[in-house]
Amino acid sequence: MGMQIAPSILSADFANLEREIVKVDTADWLHVDVMDGHFVPNLTLGLPVLERIAEVSPMPIDAHLMIENPDHWAPRYAEAGATSVTFHYEAANDPKAIARDLRKLGARASVALKPGTPVDAIMDDLAEFDMVLVMTVEPGFGGQEFMPDMMDKVRALRHASNEAGRNLWIQTDGGIARDTIETVARAGGDIFVAGSAVYKAEDPAAEVDTLRSLAAAAVAHD
């Protein structure tokens, strides 16, 4: 698998969402942040909106659930059209059961870790997940500054994946831009969520291509 870019529509113009989605059609995924105002102090969108987005998006949907009770809700986002569903370890009662439910529905199962959550929390269950999302900012709001100390988590996950002979996807979200993506790629990340960096660019589609190329070049030069 090569480097993948997942633009976050959290930075898009919500009044013109379909147009904003088409702007980034060179991307590998469309990242949809679902926030409930409880698990994180922000409120975005829910099932009906995601279902409609999935119907019009030329890219598969990467749903990031920053919500309480993902044991109940995560499978419903897979049923609504998300190809990959990420839930937070901190909010889950039974992460393994959620992952298995998602896979039964044909979706990729991903678990996310907030900056304060140690990576060891999921190491024993790593085989249950298709992807791990390492948050490189505190979840809830876009435009925050990248946390470089989270790269220790990325390196640990890549090492564990390689040791197990697995192809675990490692995603990062928060502050991903031209000046940070190479650092993440060298640490072992391979799927990058970028919101402000893409949607504030003069040409969002070209910026997606630039970010992907920077990540690939960083690994090729190591």
Spatial distance between the Cα atoms of 170 and 62, rounded to a whole number of angstroms = 13
Helix (H) or strand (E) run with residue 32 in it: strand 30-35
pTM score, two decimals? 0.96
For domain 4-220, give the CATH number: 3.20.20.70
Give the SS3 label for residue 38. Answer: coil
Spatial distance between the Cα atoms of 53 and 101, rounded to a whole number of angstroms = 22
CB 30 within 8 A of CB 59: yes
Catalytic site positions: 33, 173
pLDDT in tens, 169-189: 999 999 999 999 999 999 999
Q: Mean pLDDT score of the chain, rounded to an integer?
A: 96
pLDDT over 70, % of the chain? 97
Spatial distance between the Cα atoms of 136 and 116, rounded to a whole number of angstroms = 10
List the chain domain ranges.
4-220
Give pLDDT, residue 115.
96
User: Mean pLDDT, to the nearest integer, of 42-66?
Assistant: 96
* CA triple 130-135-138, angle to 5 deg: 150
